Chain A
Amino acid sequence: MSVYEINRICYLVAHDDEFRGRLRTDPRRQLDEFALTEPERAALLAGDVRALYDRGAHPVLLVRLGTHRVLGLTPELYAERIRTARPGNGEQK
């Protein structure tokens, strides 16, 4: 479980402009710098926010992947995908 790392990536997306830029240009290489499990890495690269939420990523952090348009996400796509998650599954809430 590296939920902490997923949350850290979401935090950096909002607060580190250079990181956000690198994540947009070369997401695979950028994610290599984090201690993620293979399923977590795959979920991030696929913009699978439902899977990330179900693993316990904090929704207030996770939503930044959509609002900051990284990992193939847009605010609209984020809103659509997260609706299929089960409320309360997040570990951090």
Chain B
Amino acid sequence: MAELVAAAGVPHTPVFPALARGDSEQGRDIAARYAAVSGVLAEADADVVLVLTCDHINTFFLDAWPTFAVVAADSVTGPSDEVPGVERTELAAAGAVGKHLHERLLRQQFDPVLSQHCTVDHSISVPLHFLNPAGLPVVPVFVNGMVGPLPSAARCRAFGDAIRNAVADLPPMRVAVVASGSFSLEVGGPRMDRGKLYGIPDPGWAARVSEHLAAGRLDQLADEATTAQIERAGSVSGELLPWIAMAEAARDLPLSVLDHRPGEGHAFAAWS
């Protein structure tokens, strides 16, 4: 029986890797915030990492858009989009674990798309850049937080619970679950800040999400994460949904890190 040994959530902002490498106060700050989460994961000594996130219409397109998808391949290539300072490369993936996960999800009334070959975008490459220096094999898992209609928060919690059961059913190994994304973020739409290509329409919501996560209030979080609230929080704020699935999967783990600052649309968090 496998053990879920750690969980984490981080933003996947494409400029962060280059920023963190640079010699600036802001860069050192970003690097330290990711390092706090990375340290918890390293301490947990996982064998495999499940990454729960939202594809930004790069891995998949609207010709066949999945609500949930699991990747079962021995490698994936990414990033397929622009991440300054991060070269497109082949990432080790845990194909057998992905296959097991897909099969066990089917037995629990979830029917995710199974991808056996794909590229991944910054939603996978940025968290791994910071959190997986050892190059542990990963299993990308996609939740639709991007193209309406989105799955409900309650459905994403149930998905997390099913992942938790599927992990428990794996052969003996140590598993970490990482979510990536923001709680309030506008990309490409009219609520971006003047002169910028992003905005944070609802920082109050991001703060509230962070408080609920810190306190383990998943019932309240799921109740409040309505379609209308997600819409108010920005064009990609459905990225909260994979966080909710991760938090449910890791519900037995105590909190180690919850780093959110007022005004931000995201948080850095770890449980182990």
Listed in ascending order, the chain A residues whose CB lies under 8 Å from chain B are 4, 7-8, 11, 14-15, 53, 58-63, 66-67, 75-76, 78-80, 82-88, 90, 92-93
Q: Do residues B57 and A58 form an inter-chain contact, with CB atoms below 8 A?
A: yes
* The residue from A8, A14, A60, A85 contacting B187, defined by CB atoms under 8 A apart: A60
The complex places the Cα of A26 from the Cα of B209 at a distance, in Å, of 47
B196 near A79 with CB under 8 A, answer yes
Contacts of B82 in A (CB 8 A): 67
The docked-state distance in angstroms from the alpha carbon of A66 to that of B191 is 16
- Report whether A83 and B235 are in contact in the complex, using a CB–CB cutoff of 8 Å: no
Chain B interface size range: 20 to 34
* 19 additional A-B residue pairs with CB within 8 Å, beyond A59-B188, A79-B194: A4-B62, A7-B57, A7-B62, A8-B62, A11-B62, A59-B187, A60-B57, A67-B82, A67-B197, A75-B197, A79-B196, A79-B197, A80-B195, A82-B190, A85-B189, A87-B190, A93-B148, A93-B189, A93-B235
Are A88 and B231 also in contact (CB < 8 A) when A59-B188, A82-B189, A93-B148 are?
yes
Asked whether A83 lies within 8 Å of B187 as measured between CB atoms, the reply is no
Instruction: Give, as a whole number of angstroms, the nearest-CB distance from A74 to chain B.
Output: 11
- Give the distance in Å from the alpha carbon of A75 to the alpha carbon of B188 in the complex: 10
- Closest beta carbon of chain A to B186's beta carbon, Å: 8
B56, B194, B231, B236: the one within 8 Å of A83 (CB): B194
**Whole-angstrom distance between the alpha carbons of A62 and B236 in the complex?**
13
- Cross-chain contact A79 with B195 (CB below 8 angstroms): yes
Give complex CA distance A9, B236 in Å: 20
Which residue of A11, A14, A63, A90 contacts B197 across the interface (Cβ within 8 Å)?
A63
Judged by a CB distance under 8 angstroms, whether B80 is at the interface is: yes
What residues of B have a CB within 8 angstroms of the CB of A92 in the complex?
62, 147-148
In-complex Cβ contact of B192 among A79, A86, A90 (8 A):
A79
| Nearest opposing residue in chain B for A75, CB measure | B197
Residue of B nearest to A84 (CB): B190
CA distance A80 to B194 in the complex (A): 7
Residues of A close to B188: CB separation below 8 A: 58-63, 82
- A90 to chain B: which residues have CB within 8 Å? 189, 235
